[in-house]
Structure 1
């Protein structure tokens, strides 16, 4: 695939995204349009939009890359991502829609009548959203680097620019149109090439990767090292090197690589003969075919890691801010349930495809195991396996789908984070204004009972919302250029763990247990969310290798989620006298059919909870 074709594919996706944003702009003038698309999105369109934003870089590129490297154990990612919506459907979807909130902090304040819990929830929403944005932006850099040799910073900058246009144009209404279109583009971009890939694999007669041998080059291969890497060689092999090897500058020199560690510099190329074992990055032992194909055998402490991953994906789905906000756009609770059923079918149709790319990548792109760029398998397979004009066209289609994955997820995350940022800034402004007015109010003059009952309408406020969208996109863009790179699915798994350890207890207990108190919620959020965020920070910064510390820090949900629930329940029982007085009314609003619940203005959920019957 030529650079011109790749650039054309990316440009076409970006232009289509901008056009859908403009289409959604026309009615997007009010706060309700920006936040929740006026609560008028149909179930099928909403399900398509959820699929569009949910199928991120981790789904489009990351799962295939992890299957390539670690085999059957990684199939749990797709299972957990999809099954998480069953939990969402059973326990959260309809009550959350009935809450009338714009954001998760709105729900927290309405249920617990506490501005402190609201502020803490808002902080966690922003941190989780930015953590989830990082792999989208880094995946964009990897994609453009792979198909055009562009610098890694180009992809994040392009995605950030398009996302800012999308979000600033019309908020949730524009994002909904964009993401619904991009789901079907991503499904097509994987489904069509996989037919040709399987046909080419059958014609080639290559065996399925199941032999009891380490990964090997099937044919003579030249490996381009785009980032410096330290690799371990287990069997001696003669290679031809251009570039830096073990600190020496070589120019098409034949070198005998002896068993041990070797450092290959950025930009170097290494020619391996057919049949040579693929070197592996230091600290990442390769799996032979049998271990690769057999569950619970490819990673350290696999039972713990598998269950921790399932807990994170099953419970983390309900806490992801860009997923939760989608249920506020449905007309009612019944539509929220129908949306979830449709999402299950759409995700199931998609997740059967990435594992096929991962398995074929094990055969035809084994050099990615050496460079650590396994996420690129989906991008390279069409031209590597099919070749010719057809392979070029299929590669262009896959590139377009990958960029759609980055744009759709980044758009949803940005609009949800922007909504929280703008709401909190408006609340701070309103509190300051209210205090100033109270000081200036003459004695005996009645004061307003609730100076910040709902978000303001009007052009000035919507402008602030759009500016918040710009800020919400710029911060993770800057972070993506400096943080250590990890596989996309791993980073997204960490974001799921943070969401499962913070928002999941808050939502489940807030919806189903009247005994939850503001002190209990705050303690659970701090302990559970803080523990998960700490594990994420250590994993990204220090990248611990091997043993229980690595397993527990890289997959923290198995201990951080029970810890959050225990702290939230225990503290609430110790402070049961602090149960908010409006708890009974809030629970009636969450669980009674819409026809039996008194209507309220679509403003802050806190105001709704405080309305008198």
Structure 2
């Protein structure tokens, strides 16, 4: 390890410590104002739209956004652009169809909305189970990303240290102040993440343009060349998990370990095709050599720039679009933030601001992904493309500038894990405390500890994959379970709780089966069809169809107060029909009296 790398580690460690300290300090100060169950669940529904928009954006921009989008653009090229488009576009559907009616319903959790609209305690219990599962499925890659970040900065520190550090910080903040505490923290962390990705990207682009190409190679290597990416300098790659590498050109390299099922410690020649490399193998490449890439990823720049390279890609692309556009409105940690707005109009205004904030952010990971294909192609060999954001600065500027930029990106990545994990733990803890336990503050705190510790254990046991792909399955599960119930519950009078239960079960089970098959396949040779990684194109229409058909067959189960509930969701705010169910259940005697008299606190 050279002195420059050591300095980078020290800069980055200092930046991460500062982020952790700021997160704890803001959370501690805000937690002193949290004294009631409503503070912990919905921050007393007094969060202004602009602050809430920053908090929503800070919560939503997870490891999949900060690390995963750049990594997927780096590896998959044009096909990966649907991720930032879908992550942002999902809020358009949320703003148009869900945000205001959901807030006017008066619910304080997603299961509470299901019961309020359809009057079924059984449906509420099923919704609770899916909220918990989606939260865990989304939390696991956050903790794994934190471990990746710490390991990238300090290779001698095991990955579990970073995961544990994020989990402890999140549990402490949520434990102390619930929603009231994390709202301030998440709003701060959005602006921190925006700066942490925008400033380095701008500086790196300026350096790239100034250099006119890649330093250390006898000719510039651009993305427009119909060739495989090439190493800009001599590179050593240690393969950390078994991997299948494909090359379109013959190349000489030195290898030590196991390649194609045989031990090797010498110069080897790889012909065109796929080569199996086992965990722990070291590979040495010379400057200008073509880069082998993980199998099923584009092997040359022409394919990388061309979207949809086959029928499987076309299915996956449409499936991804559906999952991201419809899954956003079913994510529990996203929806719970809209319960904190004073009224429906503020909820819709919050969503509009979120669209602007997300659109601004996603410009920068795309640029980093493109630059990474030129400067850090060795990550295509190891399969650790999610580390591109962290590795790129020192490759373009291997000096003090690169060290500082690397520290800034590390701080932003750490903020991403903290903010998203906080929102997920709050949403899961709120559901556990109100639907499984008795709804007291100590129940919320117990739920927070449980919601943080179980995903941490899974993150340490399961093998890391592409962060955005894992999060994409979370979106598919949300789109196949809660999206049909929300849309039809808000806009279709004839939905019944029987139909909602049937649709959630069918859609959820189909996605979970795909998840299990994909996970098992990853440990046993990657034999599963690629479309199972993103099944929303099948599961979402099936879930909608099951809800409609089953509801039509059970019209006798329509709740008797359907018209009253629907009028409350769609009536203008100024008419005062909102009835906050958290006040009815957890409010003070004065608040309950005011609610009974029809006066809604704004």
* 8 Å contact from structure 1 (residues 107, 605) kept in 2: no
Aligned residue pairs total 576
Offset, 1:258: 5.3
1:86-105 matches, cutoff 5 A? 86-105=92-111
Residue in 1 aligned with 2:176? Answer: 169
Whether the aligned pair in 1 keeps the contact of 2:293 and 2:299 (CA below 8 Å) is no
Residues 113, 606 of structure 1: 8 Å contact kept = no
Quick one: distance in 2 between partners of 1:388 and 1:194?
16
Counterpart pick for 1:274 among 287, 300, 320: 287
Q: Deviations over 1:3-55 (max 9, x none)?
A: 32222222111111101110111111111100111101111110000110100
CA deviations 1:389-423 (Å, max 9, x no partner) are: 01100000000000100110011001100111111
Q: Does structure 1 conserve the Cα–Cα contact (< 8 Å) formed by 2:69 and 2:84?
A: yes
Cα deviations by residue, 1:190-239 (Å, 9 ceiling, x for unpaired): 11011111112112222531211122223322223333434345544332
Structure-2 separation of matches of 1:116 and 1:605: 21
TM-score scaled by length of structure 2 = 0.91
Contact 1:102/1:605 (8 A) holds in 2: no
Cα 1:45/1:491, change in 2 over 3 Å: same
Q: Identify if the C-alpha distance between structure 1 residues 263 and 311 changes in structure 2 by more than 3 Å, giving closer, same or farther.
A: closer
Tell me, in whole angstroms, the C-alpha distance in 2 between the residues paired with 1:235 and 1:287.
10
State the SS of the aligned residue for 1:171: helix
Indicate whether 1:9 and 2:12 are aligned: no
Equivalent position to 1:508, from 487, 493, 497:
487
Aligned residue for 2:229, secondary structure, equals coil
Query: Any residues of structure 2 matched to 1:134-533 within 5 Å, and which?
Result: 134-149=140-155, 150-206=157-213, 207-242=221-256, 253-257=266-270, 262-281=275-294, 283-297=295-309, 300-426=311-437, 455=439, 461-533=440-512
* CA pair 557-76 structure 1, distance change in 2 beyond 3 A: same
Q: Is the contact made by 1:101 and 1:605 (CA closer than 8 Å) also made in structure 2? A: no
Query: How far apart in 1 are the matches of 2:114 and 2:129?
Result: 12
| Cα distance in 2 between the residues matched to 1:594 and 1:42 | 16
Is the 2:108–2:339 Cα contact (8 Å) retained in structure 1? yes
**Paired position in structure 1 for 2:40:** 34
Is 2:139 aligned against 1:126?
no
CA deviation after TM superposition for structure 1 residue 277, in Å: 1.8
How big is each residue's C-alpha offset from its partner over 1:492-548, in whole Å with a ceiling of 9 and x where there is no partner? 11100000011100100111111011111100110111111221222222249999x
Q: For the Cα contact (< 8 Å) 1:102–1:603, is it kept in 2?
A: yes
Residues 108, 582 of structure 2: 8 Å contact kept: yes
1:596 aligned to 2:602?
no
SS, match of residue 417 in structure 1 = helix
1:462-498, Cα deviation, whole Å (9 max, x unpaired): 1111111010011111111122322011011110000
Structure 1 portions without partners, runs of 5+? 428-454, 456-460
**Matched residue SS, 1:481:** helix
Q: How far did residue 146 of structure 1 move?
A: 1.1
Match of 2:90 among 84, 99, 108: 84
Structure 1's 600 and 550: CA in aligned 2 closer, same or farther, altered over 3 A?
same
Shift in Å at residue 612 of structure 1?
Answer: 11
Distance in 1 of aligned mates of 2:79 and 2:476 = 18
Contact 1:422–1:464 (CA<8 Å) still a contact in 2? yes
3-state SS of paired residue (1:208): coil
Instruction: Please give the alpha-carbon distance, in whole angstroms, between the structure 1 residues aligned to 2:547 and 2:297.
Output: 40
Cα distance in 2, alignment partners of residues 277 and 208 from structure 1:
13
8 Å CA contact 2:345–2:573 kept in 1: the answer is no
- The normalised TM-score by structure 1 is 0.89
> Against the structure 1 CA distance between its residues 306 and 256, is the aligned structure 2 distance closer, same or farther, given a 3 Å change threshold?
closer
SS in 2 for 1:184: helix
**CA pair 376-30 structure 1, distance change in 2 beyond 3 A:** same
Q: Is the 8 A contact 1:36 1:326 kept in 2?
A: yes
State the Cα distance separating 1:327 from its structure 2 match. 0.3
Deviation of residue 268 (structure 1)?
Answer: 4.2
Q: In the alignment, which of 58, 62, 79 is matched to residue 68 of structure 2?
A: 62
How far off is 1:102 after superposition? 1.2
1:605 and 1:570 mapped to 2: Cα distance? 34
Question: What is the CA-CA distance between 1:143 and the residue it aligns to?
Answer: 1.0
Tell me the secondary structure at the aligned position of residue 283 of structure 2.
Answer: strand
* TM superposition shift of 1:113: 0.8
Question: Which deviates more from structure 2 when the two are superposed, residues 1-10 or residues 407-416?
Answer: 1-10
Rounded to whole Å, the distance in 1 between the matches of 2:410 and 2:246 is 31
